[in-house]
Amino acid sequence: MSNLLNEEFPYADGILAGRTALVCGASKGIGRACAMMLARAGARVIACARSADELDELISQMHGNGHESLVLDLENLEAVRESILGLGMVEIVINNAGGPPGGPLLQNTLNEFEGPFSRHLHASHTIAQILAPRMEAVGYGRFVNIISTSVREPIDNIGLSNTLRGAMASWAKSLSRELAPCITINNIMPGFTDTDRLESLAGSISEKTGKSVEDVRNSWMDSVPIQRLIDPLETAVAVTFLCLPSSSSIRGTSLAVDGGRMRSI
């Protein structure tokens, strides 16, 4: 839905001018869309991912100038700490990373929890500990975590992901009570979004359950009132909204961008 970045761009040009945004997992999917949207809103973006080539390609397509790439494996917490300490002022952080493979939770070993929790919860906490004091010093800060609707309604056959996203939501809610008044932290809960991650997840569930990939996809679409996948840029619009100065009273919330999938109020 490229018109969201062009003739139908939903925010005033330059509304985030003068702000720097760190976008994790920026090379693909929702992370990439967030980097594109925040740049279009005027922010200088530090795009973080493991692939230098994909980051270079992303930056070449982003609106504006001055954007940077940060090649980083979020599971390497020492590298995360060193890299974030070396950054200048960052007022906006988008915590986003690839989720774990699908499958029944009882089939997961304890070792399979370590990587996903490191690159999501542990990396996010490390980043917050370093950057929150800097945000407080300049009087402005925004943390937005990309989690999942499974926080409220667990999704079958992605038990480890459900567990991880719930931990992230509780971490954010707890931190929302501790951060300085000028800093907000919120969550975006994407629904079934048109990304490589979703395709990979369908294949993983198919392999572990014996269902065909088509049946897995159909079961997802049957639960979504808009009856289509969500464009990542639609999710990025909501992320950008939470980063605006005018969103300073929204704190500790989890906003669904799910096409109406969830049945809870």
The per-residue pLDDT for range 33-50, each reduced to its tens digit, is: 999 999 999 999 999 999
pLDDT at 213: 81
CA distance between the termini of the chain: 28
pLDDT at 1: 53
pLDDT at 2: 60
Contact assessment for residue 223 and residue 261, using Cβ atoms and an 8 Å cutoff? yes
pLDDT at 239: 98
- pLDDT category at 222 given cuts 50, 70, 90 is confident
Give the number of domains in the chain.
1
In a domain, 3, yes or no: no
The per-residue pLDDT for range 45-73, each reduced to its tens digit, is: 999 999 999 999 999 999 999 999 999 99
For residue 46, which amino acid is it?
I
pLDDT at 138: 98
- pLDDT category at 140 given cuts 50, 70, 90 is very high
In a domain, 163, yes or no: yes
In a domain, 7, yes or no: no
DSSP 153-168: SPPTTBHHHHHHHHHH
- pLDDT category at 27 given cuts 50, 70, 90 is very high
Confidence check: pLDDT of 198 > 90: no
pLDDT at 44: 98
Of the two residues 198 and 67, the one the predictor is more confident about is 67
Looking at every residue in the chain, the average pLDDT score rounds to 93
* Residue the block writes with tokens 């100038």: 65
In a domain, 171, yes or no: yes
Q: Average pLDDT of 161-188?
A: 97
Task: Give residue 176's domain range.
Answer: 14-257
In a domain, 26, yes or no: yes
Q: Average pLDDT of 66-95?
A: 97
In a domain, 136, yes or no: yes
The per-residue pLDDT for range 240-253, each reduced to its tens digit, is: 999 999 999 999 99
CATH classification at residue 85: 3.40.50.720
Measured N-to-C along each axis, helices 196-209 and 213-221 cross at an angle, to the nearest 10 degrees, of: 120
In a domain, 53, yes or no: yes
Report which of 19, 28, 33, 12 is spatially closest to residue 238, judged by C-alpha positions: 33
User: Cα separation of 25 and 48, whole Å?
Assistant: 6
Q: Average pLDDT of 195-223?
A: 77
User: In percent, how much of the chain has pLDDT > 70?
Assistant: 99
In a domain, 262, yes or no: no
- pLDDT category at 117 given cuts 50, 70, 90 is very high
Cα radius of gyration (the chain): 18
Geometric angle at alpha carbon 158, from 189 and 233, rounded to 5°? 30
